[in-house]
Structure 1
Amino acid sequence: MFPILPAVPRRAGLLLLSACLLLLPVLGWAHGISAEDRQRMLDGGYLQYVGLGATHMLTGYDHLLFLFGVVFFLSTFRDVAKFVTVFTVGHCITLVFATFFGITWNYFLIDAVIAISVMYKGFDNLGGFLRVFDMPRSPKLLAMVFGFGLLHGFGLSTRLQQLPLGDDPLAMLGRILSFNVGVELGQIVALAVMVAVLAWWRRSPSFAPIARAANLLLVFLGFLLLLMQLHGYLHDSRPGDFRFPVEEHRHIHEDMEVDKTVDPGRNQL
């Protein structure tokens, strides 16, 4: 379905590498639930959940990167609607049901697999299955997008379950659905921008030479997100491996005789 892209021109590669370096701090923002959001949920109503859902999607860089990869080569409204609908149905299923029934998992690991979905889409856009695995075509893309949609919804669910959803089943369902509505509104806004930019870009002579570099960047950013999430998981499960032990720190100070490096005589004029 997607073309096999040509080699990346040197100038395009440098341009995309620069963009990647600029995006590194942005990718460091973990789209979690802050203490302020928790309190706001307690004090507010369903509209608060709608707003948080929209904000969460618009700052969910892993979700947006995957969607960008999905629509990158889709040039008709029918194709965009088809793939986005499949993705939306998938993430709605797990978002609603996993949250309502309290099904969860370590969110670092879920986000790590979501990062792999970003890498997968960039690899697919590059014609990787034909180039690397000598396959006549990519695996059924609609099915893959649906499967990844289920996964992305599970990731959204783990974040939503950090919020106070209440004990009343009907009220809890209302909050879950409100959050889901917000997610869909945020997705519509993000997709409208992506599709408009891509439609304009395809008419530009720069699209063909930079398209390959853009998808290589997508794979790299997915890999970067994967490393970040795996680091977060290891830090979360084995925190001692990532902290400087206090006792060892004290012994180092003693060995270096740090206390003797201060000259009290300098306090006198």
Structure 2
Amino acid sequence: MFQSSRSVPRWPWLAAFAFALLPALSWAHGISAEDRQRMLEGGYLQYVGLGATHMLTGYDHLLFLFGVVFFLTTLRDVAKFVTVFTLGHCITLVSATFFGLTWNYFLIDAVIAISVMYKGFDNIGGFQRVFEMEKSPNLLGMVFGFGLLHGFGLSTRLQQLPLGDDPAAMLWRILSFNLGVELGQIAALAAMVAVLAWWRHTHAFRRIAHAANLLLIALGGLLLLMQLHGYLHDSDPDGFRFPAQEHRHLHEDMDVDRTVDPSRNQL
């Protein structure tokens, strides 16, 4: 269904590259103990810096943005879609954090992973090929909707930080983090747009564009599986650890500690 017109299969290479990125993907949203302590000791600039770092290492957000701007050829179109996405994630990032609205972040990130797959699927004309639709769903509306979702995902992680009890100070910390997110997004987008602008003027773009979006779908799928796996660990931690008590009873039943029979030392 998602195969290239070239006869050489691309999936083995895509899978190899995707698995090579898994260690980095697994740390896409972590808030470390060092970050928490730095927030307690620092000021608003700490939140700006963490927001920027969080966006620059938020691979699911960057993959989605990469898919959004992949075929945009004018700065006006880039600005339009990025503004809509930014508006969406600012709304939920600020409001959900301030009012303490949250959900299981593994499930939120799983849906964000689906947004990555969605954009890759849209970029290869999936709606036309698979569903025989004349055109894809309204992209501007979808980008805004996914922006709301991405902002909610950012909010669940920000709420892990010490934000204080004073509403005014808490709001400034949230806005500082949000400013950092926007600065990180601008830096990442500048690099993406520059690379894509150069790439489009090469002969390789037409040959590799389809495979690049297949890779986007594959990475989104891996992120989805990873987040669902994390959710299962989070919702049922006892189901994923070795039952030590049962293991001890099993050893007692098998008498495995008696690996040597001392009675054999006597004739």
> What range describes the TM-score normalised by the shorter chain of this pair?
over 0.9
Secondary structure of the structure 2 residue equivalent to 1:260: coil
Equivalences for residues 1-269 of structure 1 within 5 A: 7-8=5-6, 10=8, 15-261=13-259
1:254 Cα offset (Å): 3.2
Q: How far off its partner does 1:17 sit?
A: 3.8
Deviation at 1:163, TM superposition (A): 0.7
Partners in 2 of 1:194 and 1:48 — Cα distance? 26
Q: TM-score, normalised by structure 1?
A: 0.91
Which amino acid is 1:87 matched to?
F
8 A Cα contact 2:117 2:218, kept in partner:
yes
- Return the alpha-carbon distance in structure 2 between the equivalents of residues 8 and 45 of structure 1: 55
Give the CA deviation at 1:24: 2.1
Secondary structure of 2:258 counterpart: helix
- Matched-pair contact (CA < 8 Å) for 1:118–1:218: yes
Shift of 1:255: 4.4
* Contact residue 28 and residue 60 of structure 2 kept, 8 A: no
TM-score, normalised with respect to structure 2 = 0.92
Q: Is the 8 A contact 1:8 1:212 kept in 2?
A: no
Write out per-residue CA displacement over residues 103-145 of structure 1, whole angstroms, 9 at most, x where no aligned residue: 1111111111101100100110010000011000000000000
Aligned match of 1:267: none
Find the counterpart in structure 1 of residue 265 from structure 2: none
Q: Distance in 1 between matches of 2:94 and 2:6?
A: 42
Distance 1:207 1:19 in 2: 19
Deviates most, 255-264 or 173-182? 255-264
Q: CA deviation at 1:76?
A: 0.8
In the TM superposition, what is the alpha-carbon distance from 1:150 to its structure 2 partner?
0.3
SS in 2 for 1:10: coil
CA contact (8 A) 2:4 2:211 kept: no
Out of 146-155 and 214-223, give the one that drifted further: 214-223
Contact 1:83/1:142 (<8 A) preserved = yes
1:157-207 per-position Cα deviation (integer Å, ceiling 9, x unaligned): 011111111111111111000000000000011111111111111111111
Would you say the 8 A contact 1:116–1:222 is kept in 2? yes
1:47-78 per-residue CA deviation (whole Å, 9 max, x = no partner) reads: 00000000000111110110010011111111
- Contact 2:14–2:218 at 8 Å: present in 1 too? no
CA distance in 2 between counterparts of 1:106 and 1:121 reads 24
1:5–1:143 CA distance, 2 compared to 1 (3 A): farther
The one-letter amino acid of 1:144's match is M
Listed as ranges, the gaps of 5+ residues in structure 1 are 265-269
Distance change (3 Å), C-alpha of 1:182 and 1:263: farther
Counterpart CA distance in 2 for 1:11 and 1:5 is 8
Question: What is the identity percentage for the equivalent residue pairs of Structure 1 and Structure 2?
Answer: 79
Once superposed, which parts of structure 1, at least 4 consecutive aligned residues long, lie more than 4 Å away? 11-15
